[in-house]
Amino acid sequence: MIIWGSKGREKIVARGQFHCPKCRTDAEYTHRRVSRCFTLYFIPLFTLETLGEYGLCHHCGVQLPAELLMLTREQVDAAWQPWQCVECSNVNSAEVERCVNCGAAPPASSHSENGPDTPAIT
Ligand SMILES: [Zn+2]
Ligand SMILES: [Zn+2]
């Protein structure tokens, strides 16, 4: 009787240092590739298909699309688009909806799709 099948296998294809967009620190990462292998008697013989790739931050444990591993610190910062408070000129990260220093709303700009208290200009 021949026992064959397939199973998922995870392989580390690269490791190094990157600037994590989640925890925003310089952290260790591993770049992993998940693939399905053809197995014969439970021994993986060859790869049937690549299911996907992801990067794992060893600092915060987040799983990211592999492309994000290539980002530089500048690109991460740009993607976060910190905004400056018009009231107190405190610089806030993009994830906060109000100034962490004085509680003022961010200047009305591009990403105000769902602002419930946007004054209607008539
Ligand atoms: Zn992280
Ligand atoms: Zn402020």
Instruction: Report the run of H or E that residue 37 belongs to, with start and end.
Output: strand 26-40
Domain that holds residue 12: 4-71
| Ligand 1 centroid distance, CA of 100 (Å) | 22
Residue 14 lies in a domain: yes
Ligand nearest to the CA of 60: 1
Whether 9 and 67 share a structural domain = yes
| Ligand 1 centroid distance, CA of 56 (Å) | 8
> How far apart are the C-alpha atoms of 39 and 6, rounded to whole Å?
5
pLDDT tens for the chain, residues 1 to 122: 889 999 999 999 999 999 998 898 999 999 999 999 999 998 989 999 999 999 999 999 999 999 899 988 888 877 777 888 999 999 888 778 899 999 999 877 555 455 555 565 66
Whether 66 and 88 share a structural domain = no
Whether 14 and 61 share a structural domain = yes
Contact between 94 and 81 under an 8 Å Cβ cutoff? The reply is: yes
Whether 81 and 59 share a structural domain = no
Interacting residues of 12 by C-beta distance below 8 A, sequence separation 6+: 30, 31, 32
Ligand nearest to the CA of 103: 2
Q: Which residues pair with 19 in a beta bridge?
A: 26
CA 56 from centre of chain: 9
Ligand nearest to the CA of 91: 2
Residue 122 lies in a domain: no
Whether 51 and 78 share a structural domain = no
Ligand nearest to the CA of 25: 1
